[in-house]
Structure 1
Amino acid sequence: MTRGAIGAEVSERHDMMSSVPALRTTDLIGRDAELEQLSSQLGIRASGGGTTSGVEQTVRAMLVAGDAGVGKTRVLMALRDVAIEAGWHVVAGHCLDLADSSLPYLPFSEILGRLMTDQPDVATRVLDAHPTLARLQPGRRIRTSETASGDQALDRGNIYDAFGDLLSAVAHDAPVLVMVEDAHWADESTRDMLSFLFSRPAPGVSLVVSYRSDDLHRRHPLRRQVAEWMRLRGVDRLQVEPLHDDDVRLLVRALHPSTMSEAEYTSIVDRAEGNPFFIEELVGAAWSGQVPGELADVLLVHLDRLDDTTRQVVRLVSVAGRQVSHELLATVSDLGAAELETALRNAVESHVLVASRGGTYAFRHALLGEAVYDDLLPGERIRLHADFVSALGEGRVVGTAAELAQHARRADDRPVAVRASIEAGEEALAVGGPSEAATHFLDALELIDTSRTPVGEVDASVLARRCAEALIASGRVYKAVKVLRARLATLPADGADVDRGQLLTALASALMLTDTPDSPREIAAQAVDLLHNAPPKLLVRALLVQAQSLAGWHQDEARAIALDALELAERHDLTSLAVELHTTVAGLDPAGGSSASAGWRAAAERARHAGLLEPELRALYLLGRLHHDEGDLDTAIAVYRETIERSEVGGLVWSPYPAEARLLLAVALTHQGRLDEAWDLLDVSGQNPPMVFEWLFFAHQMLILIGIRGEPKPQALERLRDYWGTDGLTAVTSASAELLRANAAGDAETAIEVYDQVVATVVPLWHDWFQARLRLATLVIAALATAAARQSVDERESARAEVERMLSDGGRVIDFYAPYDDSHGPEYRMWVARRSAEHLRWRWLAQVDPPSGDELVAAWRAAEEAAVTYGSVPEIAQARVRLAGVLRATGDPAGAREVADLARRAAHELRARPLLDELVAQGSAPAPEPASGEVALTPRESEILALVAEGRSNGEIGKQLFISTKTVSVHVSNILAKLDAASRTEAAAVARRRGLI
């Protein structure tokens, strides 16, 4: 859309504009419905059109999506005007495309700056209450020679609360409309802040966020978050669609009142495809007598009509970025003040640039700025970027380290680029942006490594370790390993032991977070030898890593080393290392069990008190694992959630411990039968997580979809095969899905093939008798047993060798873990019992040394009891399905019916088609409905039924219960089936009649 009034005068000599027209109209063409929806849903004015501040809101936040140039900003400007007219406060922040540079919380810095100008008393009061918020002040984000220290680092929880309090304070006198534009360029920290504001609304505050929907490709980090936001109550989305052809014609007439031929109209309508930006540009090109063949040509037509000085300034703005301050332009430009102002006025009036009240200039559209920049000659770009480097580097104008780094890289000023990139990385870490920090550090390392001459007094080894820390904190552990190995390779053979020892310590620590055939234990030992005479801090770090590398298999040695390191750390007041060592010692407590639980909880609290988030996350993760291994799934789930929540505060969501905690939380939810919750938790499409977690999470989703629910998705499993060698857990999880599918089909040949392949892949990463091998071997025996019913005598005898091999492999795992008492948790015992029961089932069905009926029933009763003890709903259901078949085969139809009904109920709730099919194959049928007409609804179904009776739609129910619309649809279908109702209305009537609601 267009933004102003048609005000250019007609030339006396020609019936056309003598200069570039200001192609703008005050009419909001084709967007009345969008504006009405926004203003009425946000409560700015009634649906009838009258503005009022007293209208009750239906939503508290709106997402405004649309393609680039479709008119989102124009609609928001109209909304701003409506809100101001209604007596609202309106503040806006903009996300900027800084390419590889990142500046966390940028739009919120802009909003804070505006509020400090417009409402200084309120802003000052909140800043006094929340001093941390001052770090986001625009004036506080300039380059300094100081490196952000740990005590200056932003705690995200404090920032979130402080910003929420600021908005609440502003809203005390009148409602507040907060607008954040171009969220597709938002950094991770900004997206997290938006999530906080969406999920914790402040009274009187409404939020509008716009983004380019065509930029949200599958892996775009905003895509997943938009889906999450849409599940929140009070959040809605407006998709700004292209204009209809009739509206395009109206807009063309508003922009070009003169008569146009039908051919010209048709050309614009066809080429613009309803995009107002394209329409504006095409109309402008038509006015100049040119209709360009490509959009880039259209964008650059305006520059061709500008005078030389104005073109020079516009090109300078394109180098600066999408937005630049007048001060920076004045500093970099060689024009006088009056000449610069004249050029800027010409650019603004020509609608190439727009000016803001804050003294900044920006291109009317980002695409225009990109086209201008791309049109520059290579040498011209370098020269102009160098001018910015000079201005920013010499301190003649304020700016951020990220800006300086960006300009220095493009000016090929490597020494400045390296220093500024390091500075920018440290600043990003200080405000909880490890991903952005890693990008800056990697840039600096690349510049150092590719430079033919020294780029300054930068210790590349120190920078590599710092980069690795940021990479690990952002979840990119394999990249961290690569960076550390590359730096080690550059060290001279006679280099300092201290440098090599520190790099080896970092490498061993990183390798422990990966699946690799390399030995972290050996690398850690080398590091300790090299740092034996090093300063205490370096030696303690090396000893800590060595103790961690020994944990699990060499507990006594690990504990002795950890205790020695702890004594050394406490003697030299190395607080952070002492906290980490307490966590390590807690896991090495020979008493184990409750003692380890108390130790890890204490370690987590100690780390939290010291402000050390990463050791806290590690302690919480290990605490959750302990409860999980002990079979206390409820407590494990609570601790995993705590781990994830704490990671969000510090921007460490994808660091290894909280990321794996998310997976294990999904595993625990799966065991509890909460499959939809587990699926949603792992749905990270669009978040752009580290690849290892993306595929690991996807593997568990396929375990749910294919393994438990029996959906045919062979291509998904084939895709996962490519990632087996990267992560052992991904291999085991996806192989489990394949084995369950083969089990359901009785495809023993495929089951054996999958088992051999996954073992061959995982053994080099882990060891020969990894614990999951017991489960995998048991699933193969189950597939062999299912296949036995259809096999000939010769085929059964041939299968006997494979059964014995699987039985032996499982037995080797049991023997391997026999000395380790802490490995004998309820899940382990469940699979031990299941292994015995499946083996007897094979012998029974294959009639190879068949067991007695009593022996077979007893084994499956034991398997059922072990599954119940652990609390795994899918495994309980599977054990009961098999037990029902055994009871039926051994002459106990009543017992079979009772057990089958329990299994069937669970299978329906899980939507586990393989279990239902197996019950049908057994000849099992549901028990008759009780004469009383009682219906067994799950708690979730009862909750949804009550909302259905209120007349809620599936979408409304999904938003209220924070589940997907598809999940609601499935539950409603199950409810209709259980109530034998043909419609939602009938279901509500039946439910009321039976007293179900």
Structure 2
Amino acid sequence: MTRGYRDVVDGGHHVGVASTRAVPLVGRVSELERLEALTGLSGDAPPRAVVVAGDAGVGKTRLLTELAARAEAAGVPVVVGHCTDIGDGALPFLPFGEIFGRLEASEPARFADLAARHPALLRLRPGRAAETDGPDDVGRTDVLDAVHAALERLAAASGLLVVVEDLHWADPSTRDLLTILFTRGFAARVAVVASYRSDDLHRRHPLRARAAEWARLPGVERLQLGPLPDADVRLLVRGLGPGLDAEGDVGEIVRRAEGNAFFAEELAHARTAGDAALPADLADLLLLRLDRLDGTARTVVRAVACAGRRVTHELLARVVDLGDDELERAVRSAVDSNVVVTVEGDAYAFRHALLAEAVHDDLLPGERQRLHAGYVAALRAGGVDGSAAELAHHALAAQDVATAVTAGIQAGDDAVAVGGPQEAAAHYLRVLELLGRPGAPEVDVTELTLRAADALLAAGHPHRSADLVTDLLDQRRHGPAGPDRAGLLLARAAALREIDVDVDDALDVTTEALTLAGEEPTPLRARALTAHAYATYDRGRDADATRFAEEALEVATALDQRRVASDAATLLGRLKERSGDPEGSLVALGDVVARARRDGDVVALVRGLHLTGTIHFEIGELARARQVYLEAAAIAVEHGHQWSPNGLDARLLACLTAYMTGDWDAVAVESDLSGQSPPPLIEAMFRAIGLTRAVARGDDDAAGMLDRVHPWWPRDGLVCVHSAGAAVDLYGQRGDVAGAVAVHDEAVRTLSALWHADDGLFQARVRLGAVLLGRLADAAAQAGAEVEHLLDVGVAEADAVERTVARATATGRPYGIEGRAWWARARAELLHLRWAAGIDPPGDDELIGTWRRAVEDFEALGQPYERARSQARLARVLRAAGSTQEASRLAGSAHRTAEALGARPLLAELRDLTGRSAADASRGSGPELTPREREVLALVAEGRSNGQIAQQLFISTKTASVHVSNILAKLGASGRTEAAAVARRRGLLDRPR
């Protein structure tokens, strides 16, 4: 009948928001399903008319585009008309003229038949009504009747969907015609859907009363589109392109867009172009809303824009120079025009924050400064609500430097008091920038710098904290050396402990600080002793660390410096574990934790719990370690310290122990920081742990995750350590042994540089080496003439592993259970490599015994995935040695673990050992699918993507991905197509009742 809806929209007839289907529909699943039901596209109910309302940019056109696409897919023709903003000169019945004009162009014979039956249709053609040979006395009623009858006839065969957009611009005749269509209804299956911008309906808008009238008609339904939830806006933004990856950037766009899809897209495009400011085109579009206001109302609106997000009536009245009646009339005009809304009874705010931003940016510099100065005067005079942060903001914009400094310091202190280190740091740093300007008051720069450094460290920015303090130290390099310099050095040392730097650097810093602190028992000396104790501990000088920590505890206790005493006692507890007394360490740390709880010292409590969890971790009590880490992380989050060093480490280690203990669903949830806006480096840390799970499960997006994490390797050793092993496995899964070797070597070089390990020996080398040796052994089984090279690489790596372990054990300290497990695995993999290569192969007893040790060690550690991987290797060599019964038992055990974890690559490796194909596995005794998994499986079989499944079931895409991975594992399928085939054979595609 006519071109598809997308052709109509793209063909120049309508310029709207989200006007094509290029961007996937996000977050409107329930609204789309309701529209399908109301218009008769789903079910047998007769179609009804629907009026769709929503603010500009909220997604009306995108929703109707999808509805039209589904109608066309179902064989229902679609006709589309648009109202246009051309002022008082609008042609009557404009959208219906568009509909029938397009029909005449695309199907002239059909239009001619309709026109012959209903000549009044010819009057709808813009500019061509005089060309008709029909009667001259065609009246308005004739046109109304003709349109109704023509739509009825067009729908006779297959039904019809009529879409009319932008009714806020509709001419009176169009509004009347729609009233007729809504009132009369249709005998055929005609569905009429009309849309308008609710924010354009000011109090005197002619559509306002008509829309209320339509809502009372029995055959008309109203659908109000509200803002998209933040989670859906986040999905939308991330889907717009690879340039939007950091959660901080995405979170900022989500915050500013306030649920408006069009605003989110415009802000996202600007951000990918490197511009964080409000796009000029979007600002111009927003500012059009002010055109309907008179001069006084615009003056008030500009004052509101300078206030921030909201302003009370009393404060606004003090800033604008208007009488009470005049102010009330101006505000009423702004409210009636949907520019400003009332909030919380006595305050005003913009309908959308971006509108406030546009208005504020549009002010002249002098106008902006004058209005902000008015707010400064009103807030300083008192009698109105206002915080120090508000006063600092207005003073800065008003160029009142003295007030901006004093209020900014107070705002920072207020933020610290309520657990907002990120906000506190921003206030302090802004004040530091102002101190060089004329009019700035005298401020203790050292003290302010220390506050800013502490806030930055607590907010998860150790590099910035260290740089800030270092800059001031460099400025005062030739100044007096005393307590101020010592305090700055201690702040630098605290930041350096959280950065991958040479420990000698930190030790030099604390040594100088301790010298400057003097010999007298002062609070400064107690802090310096503690910092020096930690620095010597990091250097491995445990005897010195114990001596300094004990003196620090003595001085701090005598001076009632509880925080410092807790720091020292915590380190002494940690030293007990490293000396081979983990039980004594747990007792000592238990005392620290109890004292911190009693004193209400959150920082000491989180640190004590974090280190308690680490003791449990290192002695192999992973489940208990995770519980303690989770408690520490929860307390840190509750008090706004989630990115502080110990709070962050607790969250990371809780996530890592979830991976190690096999709670991989928890890893997916805990490594996803959506909506939390972490510092980018911290986001990379969690992504690195998430990558290990993704690779182990064989997820499709694992390579993309590695691409996002890899650039952070040179910045942080933890990111590199947690992701490098997974990267080696990822290349190995692809059969790219050269890539596996290259990424391993890159990781070794990176970590050696970060940790100043010139010989390339560091503890993580043991695990990295074991993983690489395993991939070399896999390749050797198929490498032919290349096996000698593979063996040379493997022998060199095994030698590095042995030298690393020898160095660690030479200290006399116990070698941790995790380290022992990976050491055993590395030795077993080297023997496996020689066995697979057929070069100097080990005897069966030696090979089997070494692999048994690796299985036992990972069993003792409580790491099921690595135990299963080791079992698979042991099963392979046992079968080759003729021990088929034990090999089958071990392979079966490993298969059950891999199936439960959803570890598809391991399942594939085990198939030839268990003798089960994917179909056999699906018919085996594996775990049953849950009702939710059966729902997801049905959608997988329909070819839906994870994003589409998430929309259909009202879950996040991440959760959908978890379900799909679980299903593939339970069915033993290597991919979605195979899973669908297995499910059909088993009759699993019926939806749960």
Q: TM-score, normalised by structure 1?
A: 0.67
Over 3 Å counting, the alpha-carbon distance change for 1:893 and 1:711 in structure 2 is farther
* Contact 2:168/2:200 (<8 A) preserved: no
Matched, 1:466 2:451: yes
Report the CA distance between 1:502 and its aligned residue.
0.5
**CA-CA distance at 1:593 after TM superposition:** 0.7
Instruction: Give the aligned partner of residue 740 of structure 1.
Output: 729
Q: CA–CA distance in 1 between the matches of 2:961 and 2:715?
A: 33
Amino acid paired to 2:315: L
- May I ask how many residue pairs the two structures share in their alignment? 738
Indicate how the Cα distance of structure 1 residues 322 and 668 shifts in structure 2: closer, same or farther if over 3 A, else same: closer
Q: Give the letter for the 2:752 counterpart.
A: V
* Unpaired stretches in structure 1, ≥5 consecutive residues: 1-30, 38-64, 73-243, 263-271, 287-292, 993-997
> C-alpha displacement at 1:492, in angstroms?
5.2
Distance 1:556 1:634 in 2: 32
Letter in 1 for 2:627: A
Within 2, Cα distance between the matches of 1:280 and 1:306? Answer: 11
Q: 1:513–1:656: 8 Å Cα contact kept in structure 2? A: yes
Task: Please say which of residues 350-359 and 482-491 is displaced more in the overlay.
Answer: 350-359
Is 1:598 aligned to residue 583 of structure 2? no
Contact 2:899 2:970 survives alignment (8 Å): no
Q: Any idea what the Cα deviations from partners look like across 1:122-149, whole Å, max 9, x if unmatched?
A: xxxxxxxxxxxxxxxxxxxxxxxxxxxx
What 5-or-longer segments of structure 2 have no aligned partner? 1-27, 35-52, 61-160, 178-193, 209-279, 942-948, 974-978
Task: Report the CA distance shift for 1:973/1:779 in structure 2 as closer, same or farther (over 3 A).
Answer: closer
1:409-424 alignment, distance < 5 Å: 409-424=396-411
Query: The residue matched to 2:554 in structure 1 has which SS?
Result: helix
1:60-115 superposed Cα distances (whole Å, 9 cap, x missing partner):
xxxxx99776499xxxxxxxxxxxxxxxxxxxxxxxxxxxxxxxxxxxxxxxxxxx
Tell me the SS of whatever aligns to 1:493. coil
1:789 to 781, 795, 815: 781
1:69–1:278: 8 Å Cα contact kept in structure 2? no
Decide whether aligned partners of structure 1 residues 366 and 926 sit closer, same or farther in structure 2, where only a CA change above 3 A counts: closer
Q: Does 1:495 align with 2:486?
A: no
Letter in 2 for 1:517: D
Aligned to 2:199: 277
Kindly indicate whether residue 959 of structure 2 is the aligned counterpart of residue 964 of structure 1.
Answer: yes
- Separation in 1, partners of 2:176, 2:766: 78
Give the Cα–Cα distance (whole angstroms) in 2 for the partners of residues 826 and 617 of structure 1.
25
Q: How does 1:861-880 map to 2 (within 5 A)?
A: 861-880=852-871
Q: Which amino acid aligns with 2:510?
A: A
CA distance 1:405–1:778, change in 2 (3 Å):
same
Shift of 1:506: 0.5
Q: Which shifted more, 741-750 or 431-440?
A: 741-750
Q: Per-residue deviation at 1:328?
A: 1.3
Give the structure 2 partner of residue 569 of structure 1: 556
Give the partner amino acid of 1:395.
G
1:962/1:633 CA distance change after superposition, 3 Å: farther
CA distance in 1, matches of 2:951, 2:703: 34
Alignment of 1:648-797 (within 5 A): 648-709=637-698, 711=700, 713-745=702-734, 747-766=736-755, 767=757, 768-792=760-784, 795-797=786-788
Paired position in structure 2 for 1:624: 613
Q: CA deviation at 1:787?
A: 2.1
Out of 618, 628, 632, the residue aligned to residue 639 of structure 1 is 628
Q: Secondary structure at the match of 2:753?
A: coil
Q: Which amino acid aligns with 1:550?
A: T
Q: Which residue of 1 is the match for residue 440 of structure 2?
A: 455
Contact 1:562 1:584 in 2 (8 A): yes
Deviations 1:668-727 (A, max 9, x none): 222222222212211113422121221111112222212453647434323322111111
TM-score (norm 2): 0.67
Pair 1:812 & 2:803 matched:
yes
Match of 1:94 in 2: none
Coordinate RMSD, CA, aligned: 4.2
Please report how far the alpha carbon of residue 746 of structure 1 lies from its aligned counterpart in structure 2 after TM superposition: 5.2
Superposition pairs of residues 295-334 of structure 1, within 5 angstroms: 300=287, 303=290, 306-334=293-321
The answer on whether the counterparts of 1:71 and 1:277 sit within 8 Å (CA) in structure 2 is no
Pairwise CA distance, 1:561 = 0.7
Identity %, equivalent residues: 37
Say which SS state the counterpart of residue 773 (structure 1) adopts.
Answer: helix
Cα pair 1:471 1:480 within 8 Å, conserved:
yes
How many Å separate the matches in 2 of 1:351 and 1:946? Answer: 46
| Partner residue of 2:910 out of 919, 923, 926 | 919
Q: Which position in structure 1 is the counterpart of 2:362? A: 375
Q: Is residue 831–residue 847 contact of structure 2 (8 Å, CA) maintained in 1?
A: yes
Q: Where do residues 138-287 of structure 1 align in structure 2 (5 Å cutoff)?
A: 248=165, 251-252=168-169, 275-277=197-199
Cα separation, 2, equivalents of 1:896 and 1:305: 81
The one-letter amino acid paired with 1:483 is: L
Are 1:512 and 2:508 an aligned pair? no
Higher RCO (C-alpha under 8 Å, 6+ residues apart): 1
Deviation per CA, 1:502-541, whole angstroms, max 9, x where unpaired?
1110110111011123621211111111122688122211
Cross-structure match for 2:155: none
Q: 1:547 aligns with which of 533, 537, 542?
A: 533
Between stretches 869-878 and 487-496, larger displacement belongs to 487-496
Equivalence for 1:234: none
- Is 1:530 the equivalent of 2:516? yes
SS of corresponding position for 2:460: coil
Write the letter of the residue equivalent to 1:834: R
Q: Decide whether the 8 Å contact of 1:537 with 1:569 is kept in 2.
A: yes
Per-residue deviation at 1:580? 2.2
Instruction: Find the counterpart in structure 1 of residue 843 from structure 2.
Output: 852
State the Cα distance separating 1:431 from its structure 2 match.
1.4
By how many angstroms is 1:557 displaced? 0.7
Q: 1:335 aligns with which of 311, 314, 322?
A: 322
Q: Is the 8 A contact 2:593 2:604 kept in 1?
A: yes
CA contact (8 A) 2:904 2:972 kept: no
1:245/1:274 contact within 8 Å kept: no
2:415 maps to which residue?
428
Q: Output the amino acid matched with 1:781.
A: L
> Is the alpha carbon distance of 1:560 and 1:924 closer, same or farther for their aligned partners in structure 2, counting shifts above 3 Å?
same
Aligned match of 2:900:
909
- Closer, same or farther in 2 for the Cα pair 1:423/1:918, shift >3 Å? same
Provide the C-alpha distance between the structure 2 equivalents of 1:276 and 1:564, rounded to a whole number of angstroms. 71
Aligned to 1:5: none
- Say if 2:552 is the partner of 1:560: no
The amino acid across from 2:670 in the alignment is L
Alpha-carbon distance in 2 for matches of 1:782, 1:739: 10
- Per the alignment, residue 521 of structure 1 pairs with 507
Give the AA of the match of 1:682: S
What's the CA shift for 1:354? 3.9
1:273 to 1:815, Cα distance in 2 relative to 1, 3 A: farther
Distance 2:438 2:201 in 1: 50
- What secondary structure is seen at the aligned counterpart in 1 of 2:322? coil
Cα distance in structure 2, aligned partners of 1:708 and 1:302? 52
1:887 is aligned to 2:874: no
1:851-889 superposed Cα distances (whole Å, 9 cap, x missing partner): 112221122122211221112111111111111111122
1:362 counterpart SS class:
strand
Q: Decide whether aligned partners of structure 1 residues 918 and 328 sit closer, same or farther in structure 2, where only a CA change above 3 A counts.
A: same
